[in-house]
Chain A
Amino acid sequence: MSTTELQHRPVRSDRRRLTSASRVVTLASVYAFLYIPIIILILFSFNNSRLNATWMGFTTSWYGTLPDHPSMLNAAEISIAVTLGQTVISTVLGTMGGIALHRYKFPGKRMFVYFLYIPIVIPEVVLAVALLLFFNQVSFPLGVVAMMVGHTTFTIPFVVLVVRAAMSGFDNSLEEAARDLGATEWQTLWKVTIPIILPGIIVGALLSFSQSFDDFTTSFFVDGMGNDPLPVYIYGLMRHGVSPVVNALAAIILAVTLVFALLGERMQRVGKLARR
């Protein structure tokens, strides 16, 4: 082997194949791309100007004017009603399903699990038009309840998934012990199983909440006239041009979904620590 070849050989233990300058540029530009639009959106919700183009000073007045728009309040009420309703249904049903799938064996279980998870992988627009068709065929009125049903249908699989994951470290012998000590099935469920997996259930509920709260596609198809929830309402506003009010509203939705997601992540960690 010639000496020049030897000189070309990098130090073995050095895992860094990219030079530090190109690494920094790569990291910085991708993070900038991911974050700048969001930061600008939030920043300009505090901009003291009707026009969005230039920075005219800090104000919180746009947030203050939000309640002055009756249609916006209406949209917020609808969003909250749909999201709370669907979160309760999907959390209860999903948790029950998750517990059952963890505990029992039954014929066709594998197919049933596949069936439950399919809504996660197929495009939402396909779920949404099928629901529209269904509501139309059974003459069920579009609106708040229809949206609640639609959202519940695509959030249940996520709750089942999260609850099953939370139970993956669950010791089945705890339930056995409870029953051996004379607890009924109900007591075992309420006093042993649910308290132990509660963090997982809360994570499922938070995930379900944030998915429903910022859903656009399903609501767009099944909301009916005059029942636009916030995301669809903002879409309507955006088509008529931007205004700082829209930014303020978008920033609030962003904050709500992010807080719920972060809380979920926290809970998940707490749950994992508690199981150790």
Chain B
Amino acid sequence: MELRSYGDVPDVNQPRRSIMRRLKLRRANWMMWMLLIPVAGWMIVFFAFPQLLMLFISFMSQGEYGGIAYQFTLDNYIQMFSPVFLNVIWTSVEFSFIVTVLCLVVAYPFAYAIATASPRRRLFLLFLVIIPFWTSQLIRTFALMFLINTSGLLNTVLLQLHVITQPLNLLYTPFAVYLGQFYAMLPYMILPLYASIQTHLERPEFLEAAQDLGANPAKAFWKVTLPLTTSGIAVGSMLVFIPTLATFFIPLLMGGGKMEMVGNFIGNQFLSSDNWPFGASASVGVIAITLVLIALMFRFMKNAFLEES
């Protein structure tokens, strides 16, 4: 418990010895302030202050010709319950939910297949998942746009195979936005699922018990494997759901601006609609939701750790 007060998750791979060493922390001296003040100052000026400014502006009125009128109002928060905004929120939640489920359905068997490979091959297969993880998400989105646009390779191949007679308009549709987000998020689902399935498979006694008691493989999976990998499912789902909720450039690029998620909505309030105060209140709302979800995710992870120890 003492460890937790230093504000980070203990690295389970580090030997206990080094944790003991870390407890010998020094008291504040002038050197600490020298080291800490620049980074603290930077983050206060360019992160905390702009966010507080955002909170302040969210209570101001919209100016007559766009811009900000410095008059207190709660209108921006009341406006968050208008059908237009609720519709945007609903679109985002539905979108994030479907993308999360799709990722889960594809990633689970995939992660399972990696976890059951031989140890040597497993490392290589995992490495192949991590590379897209490192690759620029933006360029990966460009790659998809290039593949599915009207004169792109996919249409050319389908035309030449006479599967279709006219090029499909795939790009700049909701389908493209789903595809792009799914493509970007898949590795985030695979890795935690793999970790959790791997841990489960290292202790086969539960599965063996299920088999000894006469469960067929399907039943053993539903009653044993799936419940025991809940933590991986929960963490993976959060890692996909949270960034998807306020995704910005994927709907912009793949949807051509036609599908408006809450992230795009906020951006548009600042760029095209020129209703900064409302954009500010929406932004405050999104931060609040995100922080609550993150706290929930850590709760899940903590529970998973407790279960294991």
Contact = CB atoms under 8 A, between A and B. Distances in A.
Interface of A, helix, strand, loop or mixed by DSSP: helix
Nearest to A211: B136
A121 B242 contact: yes
B33 to A, nearest CB: 9
Contact of A17 (B31, B46, B217): B217
Contacts, number: 278
A215 B187 CA distance: 19
Name the residue among B22, B25, B31, B139 with the largest chain A CB count within 10 angstroms.
B139
A246 B142 CA distance: 9
B27 A105 contact: yes
A34 interface: yes
Interface in A98-119: 99-100, 102-106, 109-116, 118-119
A89 B263 CA distance: 28
B52 to A, nearest CB: 9
B107 to A, nearest CB: 8
B70 to A, nearest CB: 11
A105 B25 contact: yes
Given A125-B266, A125-B267, A168-B11, A133 B54 contact: yes
Given A123-B243, A247-B146, A238 B7 contact: no
B248 A96 contact: no
A274 interface: no
23 contacts: A16-B116, A17-B217, A26-B110, A27-B125, A36-B147, A37-B143, A41-B147, A53-B152, A53-B155, A100-B36, A105-B26, A105-B28, A109-B6, A113-B8, A116-B39, A118-B47, A122-B286, A125-B267, A131-B46, A133-B50, A153-B43, A216-B138, A220-B249
Closest 8 CB pairs of A and B: A123-B246, A97-B39, A261-B134, A134-B50, A110-B7, A100-B35, A113-B7, A214-B136
Interface of A: 1, 5, 8-10, 12, 15-18, 22-23, 26-27, 30-31, 33-38, 40-41, 44, 51-54, 89, 92-94, 96-97, 99-100, 102-106, 109-116, 118-119, 121-134, 137, 149-150, 152-153, 156, 160, 164-165, 168-169, 171-173, 185, 189, 210, 214-217, 220-221, 231, 234-235, 238, 241-242, 246-247, 250, 253-254, 257-258, 261-262, 265
